[in-house]
Amino acid sequence: MKRLVLLLALLSLSTLSVAPAGAAVGAAADFAADCNAGGVVTIAGVQKYVGGSAVLSGDCVVALRPGARLVFRNVELSGAGNLVAISSPDHTTIKVIDSTIKVNGFLELTAGCCAGDGDVPENDGTVIVKNSTLVGQSVLLIASFDWPNGTVIVRNSILDGSGSGGVQIRASDLGGSDGLARVVDSEIASGGDLEIRTGSTGLTVARRNQFTAAGAITISTASSGICRSSANVPTVRCT
């Protein structure tokens, strides 16, 4: 409940101060400058941040417009607060490639989320993390959790959610369908539960990963979906 209240409070910032993203291609410092200016970065169209390192001075909320694409490549970001991308309608994409993001608070990258209105589409969200390190009190990678065609892919990466919020990797797993959650060749540490899951007619794949969790480790899909788990340490069966 505390986490939900926190995220709703962060979202409310968007009604007070919106710092729009700058050029189509910027660096880590540009992203941090937008965050630090007002606590909110709004992404429309394709926005890439390539190279450099920067520090976030406080909490930062990323709001994506319909069809927006946010790409971090070869960047290093750190901060003492929360970094959450949780205001994102349909056909939004977040990519983290060859990058490191470390925050002391919550780290949540969600594409297709949080309108709070069933008439607002949040389908076809995509979150991709490759060759990267993500660290936070919790690490949540979620795509279109209540709508169809969400995709979350994690490859050759380190996820460290050291707090009780743990690590969640979820694609179209609640009211959604046809989601894809694929996690391969990665190291994932969770201070709470560790979940990798899809919903109706989804596909969940976890292969050659190293898992560490204080709570339960769950790799799952709905009864009508497909789940594949192999060569993970420890061995975790699909449910």
Print pLDDT tens along the chain (239 aa). 334 334 444 444 443 334 344 448 999 999 999 999 999 999 999 999 999 999 999 999 999 999 999 999 999 999 999 999 988 899 999 999 999 999 999 999 999 988 777 788 999 999 999 999 999 999 999 999 999 999 999 999 999 999 888 999 999 999 899 999 999 999 999 999 999 999 999 999 999 999 999 999 999 999 999 999 999 999 999 99
- Structure token pair of residue 221: 């899909």
pLDDT value of position 138:
97
Residue with tokens 């983290």: 96
Q: Is 210 helix (H, G, I), strand (E, B) or coil?
A: strand
The predicted structure's pLDDT at residue 118: 79
Task: Enumerate the β-bridge partners of residue 60.
Answer: 83
Q: How far is Cα of residue 209 from the mean position of the Cα atoms in its chain?
A: 18
What type of residue is 186? S
Unique residue bearing structure tokens 């909110």: 40
Identify the pLDDT of residue 218: 98
pLDDT at 165: 86
Instruction: Give the DSSP letter of residue 223.
Output: T
Give the end-to-end CA distance of the chain in Å, rounded to a whole number: 26
The structure tokens 């899951």 sit at: 197
Are the C-beta atoms of residues 42 and 15 closer than 8 Å to each other?
A: no
d(CA 79, CA 29) in angstroms, rounded, equals: 13
Rg (CA), the chain: 16
Distance CA 26, CA 84 (A): 19
Q: Taking CA 177 as the corner, what is the angle to CA 174 and CA 182, rounded to the nearest 5 degrees?
A: 90
Q: 226: helix, coil or strand?
A: strand
**Residue 118, Cβ neighbours under 10 Å: how many?**
10
The burial class, CB within 10 Å (0-12 / 13-18 / 19+), for 123 is: buried
Q: How far is CA 141 from its chain centroid?
A: 3
CA–CA separation, 225 and 177 (whole Å): 9
Q: Is the dihedral of CA 187, 28, 102, 141 positive or negative?
A: negative
CB-based contacts of 153, cutoff 8 Å, min separation 6: 127, 128, 129, 130, 180, 182, 183
pLDDT of residue 9: 42
